[in-house]
Structure 1
């Protein structure tokens, strides 16, 4: 994992496309491609080929459900809220820490869930509305994925496509339990039952995973209107045959889904990564569903050295600064849908039931975390010099 504090010679080529399919009358899917440094969320040439800046890049697919109007509203709200939250909580901060980026992605998805859920409560005609989503955030040479539902992400490397997300669906749970094979799941009557979506419930569990990007990798995000109508090798074949034209790649993938029936809306984003600062693929490197591990957690498994002690002190200092900034900037605010309100920090109950959380001053936070940092440093030094 490389340092992501400054731009590198990494080039992103990206394109996205959506199609209503052969059966549906309305398109309930939505997608967004954005350069988070400039907050340009278009498919203009400057985004279709760009060097990710200090804030990285975002690709997102959302597959709405709950009826034509409700599903369309949910998927559109999801893309808008995620962009809004990343603009506020990530792009406008001074942090370029990968862990902070992953946390911002997760928080943005959770806020989108809250907004959609509350919107449905305020609009009874849209009860049950929701949307799946697969989000890819690029920072440096790392890919961070946030998954809710059964939209998917694939990484095509050296002509082979591998699914890097895991469906939150009933058939996937049965596969994990050994009660169903992947081949049986493709024709199962229960294949359309998902376990999570943004909106139906007050809270959602976001599956956050990570993958290191290599030179020549192609990332494909899609709704189940595409993945449900083709096999994984078909994706690899089309990406390889159409390379390096991503516009043609997206069109060919949608065309194949329609040729196989097109029973649902179809959305796809394809992104290729190039540049001298990306390493070439390694034969033994793992590619697949890889749960996110923070840098602090990764260092916990490293041998204890003087450098690791120094890094632990830096981590403690960064944690103190982060919590102080949060205490100074956040206050409990209920969401305002019409005005695009901020993320709520109050419990999901009636206002009369809300009990204000205890306030902690900035001075108290500094004192607490200063003491913690000192104790951690002393313990690490004692272990290293007297126990090692």
Structure 2
């Protein structure tokens, strides 16, 4: 899985993304981005919705924010904008075009996004606890490189099956791996919303960096847990199999999540990969695969003055008139944009500002970040020890 250029043909990317506020939330804290990194164009204009994957590759990302007073919306927006800017500095302006540089640029950009969100929250106590999940997929030649933080997900649909290629950083995933729960039991557990990592709450994170060879005809689905918590993998596969239009794939998947109750914001990015630069699907199976490149890379100082300043969002002409769904947004040059529906049909998000309102507790179905989880289990452990000591005293 080298990700080296494929000289025998092109890799063609068809992509679309869509986000929806859902049925119960007041506003949308999800954000997504798709980008042709060679042209540094992250709009959903026609030249990106179908483009040749160039020397610098393509990017697909979903971020699901959390925190009161719209802090989650700020966190997810900061994550997308930081990662795009960091990739421009670390990757597009680098002399290297090899796959290892690309993979580690994705990872370093994710870590920088965490540091920036964490620093912002520390400087603004009213936004304490703000954070966001992030699932970032970068395509270079015939290989996807994925950075995972939290429980948004990535699937590849191949041969009629949707296989999860990311691993949730959640309590439920740990219990499944320990044999304490089955995947079916985890889906209905009251603790299914406890995540072990997110961008922002902690100063340090451990990014799960994986890689996956892409085959001709594969469809990548990235989604927030507003979709994966309501729509099963086989239903995702059924929609992809029956619907060749990616705009309709995104719409139908969101409709399914809303029909199941829509308790959370719902975001989907769908990308189909074609072209002679990709091999035909073979017998090998899809799975979560840790990237096996070099674990250490020299730190290259970056000229931060070269990183573009990202402007506010504005709706694309293709966006629907009715709230609360937004299909595409664009930015002023340089061509960089993300998708969000934080304020209904007009997804204009200004730079982060101080908010006087303290963060609200997570609503039902909201996420619990790692630092809260440690406090919870610490208190639980103390209670168990106290009860055991009391029972021992009674028996004595």
Same fold (TM over 0.5): yes
Q: Structure 1, residues 73-114: CA drift from partner, whole Å, max 9, x if none?
A: 000000000000000010001111101100000000000000
Q: Structure 1, residues 210-265: CA drift from partner, whole Å, max 9, x if none?
A: 1000000000000000000011100000011112x000000000000000000000
Where 1:171 maps in the other structure, the secondary structure is: helix
The aligned counterpart of 1:385 is: none
The aligned counterpart of 1:125 is: 126
Once residues 51 and 338 of structure 1 are traced to their aligned partners in structure 2, the CA distance between those partners, rounded to angstroms, is 24
For residue 67 of structure 1, report the CA deviation from its aligned partner: 1.9
User: Per residue, is there more helix in 1 or in 2?
Assistant: 1
The aligned counterpart of 1:33 is: 34
Indicate conservation of the 8 Å contact 1:32/1:61, yes or no: yes
The aligned counterpart of 1:77 is: 78
The aligned counterpart of 2:364 is: none
Once residues 164 and 140 of structure 2 are traced to their aligned partners in structure 1, the CA distance between those partners, rounded to angstroms, is 20
The aligned counterpart of 1:14 is: 15
The aligned counterpart of 2:320 is: none
Once residues 310 and 166 of structure 2 are traced to their aligned partners in structure 1, the CA distance between those partners, rounded to angstroms, is 33
Instruction: Map residues 1-388 of structure 1 onto 2, 5 A cutoff.
Output: 1=1, 4-5=4-5, 8-243=9-244, 245-283=245-283, 285-294=284-293, 323=298, 326=300, 329=301
Where 1:110 maps in the other structure, the secondary structure is: helix
Once residues 126 and 195 of structure 2 are traced to their aligned partners in structure 1, the CA distance between those partners, rounded to angstroms, is 22
Where 1:39 maps in the other structure, the secondary structure is: coil
Once residues 257 and 331 of structure 1 are traced to their aligned partners in structure 2, the CA distance between those partners, rounded to angstroms, is 43
Count of matched residue pairs: 308
Once residues 166 and 11 of structure 2 are traced to their aligned partners in structure 1, the CA distance between those partners, rounded to angstroms, is 23
Indicate conservation of the 8 Å contact 2:90/2:302, yes or no: no
Any gaps of 5 or more consecutive residues in structure 2? 312-396
Distance 1:275 1:338, change over 3 A: closer
Once residues 202 and 144 of structure 1 are traced to their aligned partners in structure 2, the CA distance between those partners, rounded to angstroms, is 24
Where 2:85 maps in the other structure, the secondary structure is: helix
For residue 286 of structure 1, report the CA deviation from its aligned partner: 2.6
Indicate conservation of the 8 Å contact 2:89/2:302, yes or no: no
Q: Structure 1, residues 23-50: CA drift from partner, whole Å, max 9, x if none?
A: 0000000000001111101000000000
Indicate conservation of the 8 Å contact 1:222/1:267, yes or no: yes
Once residues 281 and 35 of structure 1 are traced to their aligned partners in structure 2, the CA distance between those partners, rounded to angstroms, is 24
Once residues 6 and 279 of structure 2 are traced to their aligned partners in structure 1, the CA distance between those partners, rounded to angstroms, is 17
Greater RCO (Cα-Cα under 8 Å, separation 6 or more): 2
Once residues 40 and 256 of structure 2 are traced to their aligned partners in structure 1, the CA distance between those partners, rounded to angstroms, is 33
Q: RMSD of the alignment, in Å?
A: 2.2
Once residues 263 and 171 of structure 1 are traced to their aligned partners in structure 2, the CA distance between those partners, rounded to angstroms, is 19
Distance 1:68 1:14, change over 3 A: farther
Where 1:4 maps in the other structure, the secondary structure is: coil
Once residues 278 and 292 of structure 1 are traced to their aligned partners in structure 2, the CA distance between those partners, rounded to angstroms, is 20
For residue 4 of structure 1, report the CA deviation from its aligned partner: 2.8
The aligned counterpart of 1:342 is: none
TM-score under structure 2 normalisation?
0.75
Once residues 62 and 229 of structure 2 are traced to their aligned partners in structure 1, the CA distance between those partners, rounded to angstroms, is 15
Indicate conservation of the 8 Å contact 1:5/1:96, yes or no: no
Q: Structure 1, residues 132-183: CA drift from partner, whole Å, max 9, x if none?
A: 0100000000000100000000000011100000000001100000000000
Once residues 241 and 280 of structure 1 are traced to their aligned partners in structure 2, the CA distance between those partners, rounded to angstroms, is 20
Distance 1:29 1:3, change over 3 A: closer
Distance 1:35 1:280, change over 3 A: same
Where 2:59 maps in the other structure, the secondary structure is: strand
* Bigger Rg, structure 1 or 2: 1
Which portions of structure 1, spanning 4 or more consecutive aligned residues, are displaced by more than 6 angstroms? none
Where 2:96 maps in the other structure, the secondary structure is: coil
TM-score under structure 1 normalisation?
0.76
For residue 198 of structure 1, report the CA deviation from its aligned partner: 0.2
